[in-house]
Structure 1
Amino acid sequence: MIDIDLPEELDEDFMALVPAQRLKINKLMGNRTISSYSLALDRSKLWVTINAKSGTEVMDVLSTFPLIKYMKFHIHELMFHHEASMLVIPPFSLN
């Protein structure tokens, strides 16, 4: 899980990158690289759960974020991560 601090002032350059960030996150969630992405109400923090085998792999994913230069983060390795959506709807298979 990545605990991310965002800048206090969200300038025009930051805001211009938000649509690209949303597209990137949607793509990574679609291929299940990211399993959760949460923004604090005051927009000061993000929490991201990335499915990876190593810290290097996590850094590789983070480096693709359009907003990475605005982020200060700390990586927390998790033993496990449960999501309610994982328990309700099983993955669909065409086989």
Structure 2
Amino acid sequence: MKKFQAVIHFTMDDSFMNLIPSHRTYINYLINKKIVDSYAVSMESRTVWITINAESKTEADKYLAKSPLYRYWSYHIEELVVYDGQLFRLPTVQYN
């Protein structure tokens, strides 16, 4: 399984706000299925970053296309070679 980073720029209107609950339900589903590793949103730049586990860019794109917010997005997907962070480290041993 490969990892991909989707960088999404979005626009908003009144309908967009109504779709957020169903979009979050879909993202939570993908997180629970371990398809999405991380999901971050900046309202300042209207950008979303999603790390996706998939076999190919095409498969990652298919996951994105199922979002209720898809029509508000322009994005690109990049394959990641390294994906690391605190969550992937062993816990620090603490002596009593």
Normalized against structure 2, the TM-score is what?
A: 0.82
Aligned Cα root-mean-square deviation (Å): 1.5
- Choose the corresponding residue for 2:64, options 62, 65, 68: 62
Listed as ranges, the matches of 1:6-21 within 5 Å are: 6-7=10-11, 10-21=12-23
1:3 aligns with 2:44: no
Matched letter for residue 86 of structure 2? A
Measured after TM superposition, the shift of residue 84 of structure 1 is 2.1
Higher strand share: 2
State the number of aligned residues: 87
- Choose the corresponding residue for 1:38, options 22, 29, 40: 40
Give the corresponding residue for 2:31: 29
Q: Which runs of 4+ in 1 moved over 3 A?
A: none
Give the corresponding residue for 1:48: 50
Aligned partners of 1:33 and 1:50 also within 8 Å: yes
Bigger Rg over Cα? 2
Structure 1 segments unaligned to the other structure (5+ residues): 90-95
Structure 1 CA distance for aligned equivalents of residues 89 and 9 of structure 2:
30
Give the corresponding residue for 1:80: 82
Q: Map Cα deviations across residues 46-85 of structure 1 (whole Å, 9 max, x no partner).
A: 0000001101111111111110000000111111212322
Aligned partners of 1:4 and 1:47 also within 8 Å: yes
- Percent of aligned positions that are identical: 32
